Amino acid sequence: MKIAEVFSVRRRRCAASSSSSSYPRARAPRARAPVWPSVACLSLAACAAPAQLEGSERAIALYREARAAEAQAEAQARGGAGHGAGRRAAPGELTADEAVALAKERSATLAMMRAREDKARARVDADAAGTYRNPEVRFSQLRLDQVLDHEPRFAAGVRIRPPRPGEAGAAADVARADVDVARAETRVSELELEAEVRWLFDDVLLLDAEIEALEAVAATRRRLADQERARVNAAQGTAVDEAMAALSAAVAEEDGAAPRARREVARAALLERVGLDPAAPVRLVGEPAASAPLVALASEEALIEAALRNRPEIALAAAEIDAAGAEGALARATRWPWLSFIELGYEFSPATRDPLGWTLEAGLELPLFDTRASEIAAADAGAIAAQRALAAEVQRVAREVRDRLRAARAAGVLVEEFRARALPAVERAGVEVARALDSRQIDAVRALSLEERRAAAQVKLLKLVREYRTALAELRIAVGGPVDGRAPAARR
Q: What is the pLDDT of residue 414?
A: 92
- Cα separation, 262 vs 245, in Å, equals 27
The arithmetic mean of pLDDT across residues 190-219, rounded, is 84
The arithmetic mean of pLDDT across residues 360-377, rounded, is 85
Helix (H) or strand (E) holding 243: helix 239-255
Of the candidates 291, 290, 274, 292, which has an alpha carbon nearest to the alpha carbon of residue 282? Answer: 274
Distances (CA, A) of 406 to 397, 409, 413: 14, 5, 11
pLDDT tens-digit map of 438-477: 555 555 556 666 666 777 787 788 888 888 988 988 898 8
Q: Is the peptide bond prior to 355 cis by the omega test (within 30 degrees of 0)?
A: yes
pLDDT tens-digit map of 270-283: 988 888 888 888 88
The arithmetic mean of pLDDT across residues 317-321, rounded, is 84
Does 1 have pLDDT greater than 50?
no
DSSP 8-state assignment for residue 368:
S
- Cα separation, 352 vs 436, in Å, equals 127
Number of H helices, E strands in the chain: 13, 6
- Cα separation, 451 vs 437, in Å, equals 12
> CA-based angle 429:433:436, to the nearest 5?
135
Helix (H) or strand (E) holding 345: strand 338-348
* b/e map 13-24, b = 16+ CB within 10 Å: eeeeeeeeeeee
Would you put residue 37 in left (φ > 0), alpha (ψ -120 to 50) or beta?
alpha
- Cα separation, 263 vs 286, in Å, equals 16
Q: Phi and psi dihedrals of 126, rounded to 5?
A: -65, -45
Burial label, 48 (beta-carbon count in 10 A; 0-12, 13-18, 19+): exposed
Contacts of 186 (CB under 8 A, 6+ apart): 110, 113, 114, 116, 117
pLDDT tens-digit map of 38-77: 544 444 444 544 556 666 676 677 777 776 776 666 666 5
- H/E/C letters for each residue in 393-422? HHHHHHHHHHHHHHHHHHHHHHHHHHHHHH
DSSP 8-state assignment for residue 488:
T
- Cα separation, 268 vs 207, in Å, equals 14
Of the candidates 97, 200, 106, which has an alpha carbon nearest to the alpha carbon of residue 482? Answer: 97
Mean pLDDT (the chain, rounded): 75
- Cα separation, 400 vs 246, in Å, equals 49
Cα-only R_g, the chain? 40
- Cα separation, 458 vs 217, in Å, equals 9
Answer for the pair 258, 203: CB distance below 8 angstroms, yes or no.
no
Q: What is the pLDDT of residue 78?
A: 58
Q: What is the pLDDT of residue 489?
A: 42
Lowest mean pLDDT across 2-11, 46-55, 248-257, 259-268: 2-11
- Cα separation, 415 vs 294, in Å, equals 9
> CA-based angle 364:369:370, to the nearest 5?
85
Q: Could you give the 3-state DSSP secondary structure of residue 270?
A: helix
Model confidence band, residue 82 (pLDDT cutoffs 50, 70, 90): very low
pTM to 2 decimals? 0.63
Q: Give the residues across from 138 on adjacent strands.
A: 157
Roughly what angle, to the nearest 10 degrees, separates helices 373-438 and 300-310? 130
DSSP 8-state assignment for residue 484:
B
Q: Give the residues across from 345 on adjacent strands.
A: 157, 359
Helix (H) or strand (E) holding 57: helix 55-78
The amino acid occupying position 249 is A
Highest mean pLDDT: which range of 114-128, 137-151, 215-229, 240-254: 114-128
pLDDT tens-digit map of 380-437: 898 899 899 989 999 999 999 999 999 999 999 998 888 888 777 777 766 666 666 5
Strands 358-365 and 338-348: antiparallel
Of the candidates 171, 170, 100, 92, which has an alpha carbon nearest to the alpha carbon of residue 130? Answer: 171
Helix (H) or strand (E) holding 449: helix 444-479
pLDDT tens-digit map of 346-358: 887 777 666 777 8
- Cα separation, 471 vs 401, in Å, equals 11
- Cα separation, 354 vs 351, in Å, equals 10
Answer for the pair 429, 450: CB distance below 8 angstroms, yes or no.
yes
The arithmetic mean of pLDDT across residues 89-108, rounded, is 84
The arithmetic mean of pLDDT across residues 88-98, rounded, is 78
Q: Give the residues across from 139 on adjacent strands.
A: 156
